[in-house]
A and B are shown apart, each in its own frame.
Chain A
Amino acid sequence: MKNLVVFGTESHPKLTESICEHLCLDIGRVELSKFSNGETSVRIKQSVRGCDVYIVSPASGQVNDHLMELLIMISACKTASAKKVTAVLPVFPYSRQPDQKFSFSGAPLSDLQDAVVPCKKQTGYHPWIAQSGTLVADLLMCSGADHIITMDLHDPQFQGFFDIPVDNLFGRPLLKHYISLNIPNYHNAVIVSPDAGGAKRATAIADALGLDFALIHKNRRHEYGTSLMLVGDVQNKVAILIDDLIDTAYTLVRAAEFVKEHGASKIYALVTHCVLSGDAIERVKLSCIDKLIVTNTAPQTITPSGCFDIIDVAPTFAEAIRRIHNGESISILYDHNQVWV
């Protein structure tokens, strides 16, 4: 394809490679390095004049370094007279804005606080947590991005943070495809959402596959700590936990243990974005989760095995890039029955 260039930052070179492979392109040549004072250096090593540039950079690992790489690369391409620059962000940085404080390991701090200091006086002050999503959106637009492609935004409202087009692709068809093809006896399974916020996402998949649905939510009626409550029935059934992001895996592991206690015969976990920070991998292996299935929107340190499986999103992004470059409609990508392989 003429005038099409795909670059990648250091965050996920394999995905960039895979996307270019599907598009029959060579990866764009760029030199990324660091000066001795820690600053990022970007040198575009080929002409991008008049080109349609796509920069693949999911948030993972050194999030801030990769974000700066992306911003500087966008700015460099703009300065080099690129016609259009599109940021491809399979995982959107700073997209999770937690409602309550977390400790480093991922365990909710309220558990620890309540247990250690049960008589702590309630001052009434509700802590304000910075909303970084708008800032990231503004940074991308200021650096010169003309278009954004992402997948399964944690909140669909993020599209409204931008003044430029945002194509929010869906991982749901891939998850559906995997469930119907790879989970034995899935007709009797129950789709479970590990928290109340994900109920909409989980019911959409349950409806599409004609399955039952269940929901886990925190029950704070006890004076000390929080406990979980299950709404629905998983007794003697296969439970399929659906979430959009797994990071420390704390919530998912607790949900799996809870579902096991309520009689689930087998537990699968399907997650779109898999970051697995800290000791998350060990936690998942030791947990009640029989199999964890994730996509490769973020680089994976796990390998497909009895415990893990990986769904490839490169074909979906390649198709999106091809259609956007050719000026075609990408509505077909929103068809929840269509899967690109």
Chain B
Amino acid sequence: MKSATIIGGGSHPELLHLISNRLGITPCDVSLKRFANGETSVEIRESVRDKDVFILQSGSSTVNDSLMELLIIISACKGGSAKRITAVMPYFPYSKQSKMRKYRDAITARMVANLLTVAGVDHIITLDLHASQMQGFFTRPVDNLYAEPNIAEWIRRNVDDWEEAVVVSKNPGGAKRVTSLADTLNLDFALINTDRQRSSHFSQNFEDSIMDETEATETHVTNCSVYLDRPRIHTAKYLLGHIIDDEEIITTPASVCSEDYAQEVNLYSQGGCPSDDDEEENIMSASIYAERMITLVGDVNGKTALLIDDTIENPTAFIVASEHLVKRCGAKRVIVIGTHGIFQNKCLKDLQSCEYIEQIVVTNTYPIKPQAVLECDKLTVIDISGVLAEAIRRTHNGESISFLFKKAF
């Protein structure tokens, strides 16, 4: 790859190292500094004239600094007469803000796409966009790669009983992505849905009807074996991030529940599109006393549950789902799998201390602090530098990258 060069931003030096090794090239020498006033300074110390430049920059905890750095590097390469500039962004920043969640929200991901185009980027390579339709935000070619083949390969190699496992989607929005993995591995599929609108009063009636249904099911089982394969609905209440047992006495002040619940209903009813769980939790931290219903559609009894989402940011939804899967739905164990391991605040610690989660699997698209990795023995990081390196090689050589959609690297 003579006329290609790779430049690493400051967000993910480890991934840069892995990719450069695979490609057999030395990263371009750049100086990334900050002026005393906080501004980013970029100095490219090698010639990029007429070169095919690949700039590696992922999202990070200081996402605005990383984004600004990327834009400045792109602009610098443009000014330095680079032939083509490709931004390699394993985790696309602001990808959760790809639609108007509430009226008058900004579609920030679209703005980021515009910023990249204005800076002078010619091509974007990214991985597991939160919504694949985001490719329409760009007027430049976007290669949205998938971590799914690598994750499927990891499951085959590391989960002993993977052939009987069940793939569980953490929320309805991710059903499409998760069914794709279920098809790849020929596994059953299940779905978790968290209901934010049902009142406590209705919950009680609903629980009663579920009990009746369970009794009916048991009767059927004794008479007809056909029903043994029938998927079931499993519903439970949860409060303060934990499943509530039927007999458990709730000591929460009633007035607090009422007020927060009213606030919650208002938030939801005024909202735009249905929210992803993670986004909702961030905003509704004031409503932690509100009871909610969590429902599993499908059957995981006696099986390993692979709880899957594209990002792992906040622990609560994963912990509640895992607890529900094990305690109420009879799952043998729960393995949490995500592509982007963002792990905000104490997310990793909380997941580590949850007794229902056996393992946490992410790829290395997002920089994870080495200290955090050492402290968490449940965490496994899959290396996807091979996918990105192969995409870079094929993009530079003008080859098709369709192969990457099915094969693990």
Residues of A within 8 A of B (CB): 97, 124-126, 131, 133-134, 137, 155-161, 168, 193, 195-197, 199-204, 206-208, 210, 212-215, 217-221, 229-233, 235, 330-331, 334-337
> A207 to chain B: which residues have CB within 8 Å?
193, 195-198
Which of B98, B133, B189, B274 is close to A200, meaning CB atoms less than 8 Å apart?
A: B274
Known: A204-B274, A220-B183. A199 touches B110 (CB 8 A): no
> A210 to chain B: which residues have CB within 8 Å?
198, 202, 206
The answer to whether the Cβ of B22 comes within 8 Å of any Cβ in the partner chain is no
Looking at the complex, which of B25-33, B228-236, B241-249 is the stretch in contact with chain A? B228-236
Looking at the complex, which of B70-78, B384-392, B397-405 is the stretch in contact with chain A? B397-405
By the criterion CB–CB under 8 Å, are A156 and B173 in contact?
no
> B178 to chain A: which residues have CB within 8 Å?
196
Complex: chain B residue closest to A207, CB-CB: B195
By the criterion CB–CB under 8 Å, are B136 and A199 in contact?
no
Which of A156, A161, A195 is close to B100, meaning CB atoms less than 8 Å apart?
A: A156
> B110 to chain A: which residues have CB within 8 Å?
160-161
Given contacts A126-B405, A156-B100, A197-B176, 6 further A-B contacts (CB under 8 A): A124-B402, A134-B139, A157-B137, A158-B133, A213-B191, A233-B230
Which of A158, A193, A202, A218 is close to B183, meaning CB atoms less than 8 Å apart?
A: A218
Residues of B within 8 A of A (CB): 98-100, 103, 107, 109-110, 113, 131, 133-137, 139, 169, 171-173, 175-176, 178-179, 182-183, 186, 188-191, 193, 195-198, 202, 206, 230-233, 269-274, 295, 297-298, 400, 402-403, 405-406
Which of A160, A232, A331 is close to B233, meaning CB atoms less than 8 Å apart?
A: A232
Q: How many A-B residue pairs have CB under 8 A?
A: 133
By the criterion CB–CB under 8 Å, are A233 and B175 in contact?
no
Q: In the assembled complex, how far is the CB of residue B131 from the closest CB belonging to chain A, in whole angstroms?
A: 5
Known: A125-B402, A334-B103, A334-B272. A131 touches B135 (CB 8 A): yes
Complex: chain B residue closest to A263, CB-CB: B230
- Bound Cα distance from A161 to B107, whole angstroms: 10
Known: A233-B231, A331-B103. A208 touches B134 (CB 8 A): no
- Bound Cα distance from A233 to B209, whole angstroms: 14
- Bound Cα distance from A196 to B176, whole angstroms: 5
- Bound Cα distance from A199 to B189, whole angstroms: 13
- Bound Cα distance from A263 to B40, whole angstroms: 64
Complex: chain A residue closest to B205, CB-CB: A210
Complex: chain A residue closest to B297, CB-CB: A232
- Bound Cα distance from A192 to B136, whole angstroms: 29
- Bound Cα distance from A168 to B100, whole angstroms: 9
By the criterion CB–CB under 8 Å, are A199 and B402 in contact?
no
- Bound Cα distance from A221 to B163, whole angstroms: 12
By the criterion CB–CB under 8 Å, are A335 and B137 in contact?
no
By the criterion CB–CB under 8 Å, are A215 and B191 in contact?
yes
- Bound Cα distance from A52 to B230, whole angstroms: 57
> A202 to chain B: which residues have CB within 8 Å?
172
Q: Which 6 A-B pairs have the closest CB atoms?
A: A126-B402, A160-B110, A199-B175, A156-B99, A157-B133, A221-B186
- Bound Cα distance from A212 to B206, whole angstroms: 10
Complex: chain B residue closest to A221, CB-CB: B186
By the criterion CB–CB under 8 Å, are A217 and B133 in contact?
no
> A208 to chain B: which residues have CB within 8 Å?
197
